Amino acid sequence: MRNAIPIRTRKSPPEAADSLTKLIAGKVIGQQSAIEAIVPYVSMYQAGLAPEGRPAGVFLLLGPTGTGKTRTVEALASALHGSERSLLRIDCGEFQMDHEVAKLIGAPPGYLGHRETQPMLTQQKLNSVVTDRCGLSIVLFDEIEKAAPSLNRLLLGVLDRGILRLGDNTTVNFENSLIFLTSNLGAQGMQRELRQGVGFGRFVPESAAERQKQRLESIALAAVKRRFSPEFLNRIDLTLTYHPLSEEALSAILDLHLQDLRRHIANRLGPHAFELEVTPEGRAVLLNLGTSKEYGARHLKRAIHRHLMQPLASMVTAGKIAPGATVIVEAAQDNSGLILRVADSGQKPGSLAAPANAA
C-alpha cells in the first residue's frame, strides 16, 4: 500500500490534489484532462465538502475501447486504497435483460427465489472496498450501454439521492462513493471521423488536433443523448470523452508494461531472476502486435503475454536462463514476431550465439 493516499482533512496541504493527479497520470497515459477533471471531486470529499444526500461524484466516461477508461478507475482505486481491486465493479453486460436486474438487488418478498437470490450490491460489499486510508468507495458500472432499461431506471435513485433499495427492503448508501459509468457509445462514429481526418499522429498541427477533439466529443455526446433519457444524463456530474491514443502514448504504455514485467520477474524468481533488454526493433514488433487504431492499447498486455512471457517461461523451465543473465528481445527477420536470446554478463550481447525463440 505504499502508493495509497491517506484521507485528507480541511487542513490538508494544497499539493495533495497534485500528488494524486501525478500518481494516476503515471498509470493512465494520454488522458491528462480527464484525470484533472476527476481529482477535484476526491479533494472535495477529503475536505468534507462533498454534497449531502447524493454520491460524492458521478462520471460518464466515453470513448473508443483501449483508451484508458476502466484503467483510470483502477488507478484511482490503487491511489486511494493501495490496490486496483479495491473497487466494486458491475459488468453491465450481465444485465441485458430486465429480469436479470434481480441478481443485482435481490428478488423482493413474494417472488420466486426471494431467499435464494443474494444481491450483488449490498452495504457490506460496498464497505468491503473501503480501507482505513480512505473512506471513499469506488463503484464502476462497466459498459453501461449494454444494461437493460430497468437497470438504468434503478440507477436514477442511486445517482440522485445516493440510496439503493434492495429486494428485502434494506438500503445501500452511496453518499461516500464515486460512481463511474463507462461506455463505448459513439466509438464507431469516432473511428470514421479519425479515418477521414488527420488522426492523432506525431506531426498533427495543434489547431487541427483540437478541432478534431471537439468533433469527436460531439459524436460521443450525440450517441449518448440518443441512448439515455435527459433525466438520467442530468444526474451525471461530468461526461468525459477519452480520445484515441497517440503513438507517443502507446509507446509510454508499452514502457509501463515492460516495467511491470521486469518487476514481476524480480519478485517471483528472487535470486534466480534475470535482466530483460528489449531492442527498439523488438519494441516496434510489440507495438505492432498489441496496438491498433480500433482497439488502442487493449491487446498490448495480451501480446506481451503471448510473445514475451510464454517464451520466457519456456526458457526458464528448460534451464536456458542463468541467474543474473540478460535476455535480449529482438525482432524476427520478417518483423512478424520476436527472437529471445541470452547474453552472458561478461560478454557483449551480440557476440554470443544463444537459444532463440521466435514467436
Give pLDDT tens digits for 41-50: 999 999 999 9
70-96 per-position pLDDT tens digit: 999 999 999 999 999 999 999 999 999
Dihedral sign for Cα 41, 42, 44, 48, please: positive
pLDDT, the chain, mean: 85
Q: Report d(CA 171, CA 292) in Å as an integer.
A: 44
Find the angle CA(195)-CA(197)-CA(200) to the nearest 5 degrees.
85
Element (H, E) at 164: strand 163-165
Q: Which three cell numbers stand for residue 234?
A: 442530468
- Tens of pLDDT, residue by residue over 126-147, are 999 999 989 999 999 999 999 9
- Banded model confidence at residue 286, pLDDT cuts 50, 70, 90: very high
Instruction: Give CA–CA dist 171/150, Å, rounded.
Output: 18
Which pLDDT belongs to residue 260? Answer: 94
Confidence of residue 54 (pLDDT cuts 50, 70, 90): very high
The span from the CA of 112 to the CA of 330, in Å, is 60
List C-alpha distances in Å: 21 to 43, 180, 302.
Answer: 11, 17, 27
pLDDT class of 213 with cuts at 50, 70, 90? confident
Place of cell 439515455: 228
| Cell triple for 260 | 511491470
Measure the CA–CA gap between 192 and 205, rounded to whole angstroms.
20
Which residue segments constitute the domains of the chain, with CATH numbers given?
A: 16-244 (3.40.50.300), 248-351 (1.10.8.60)
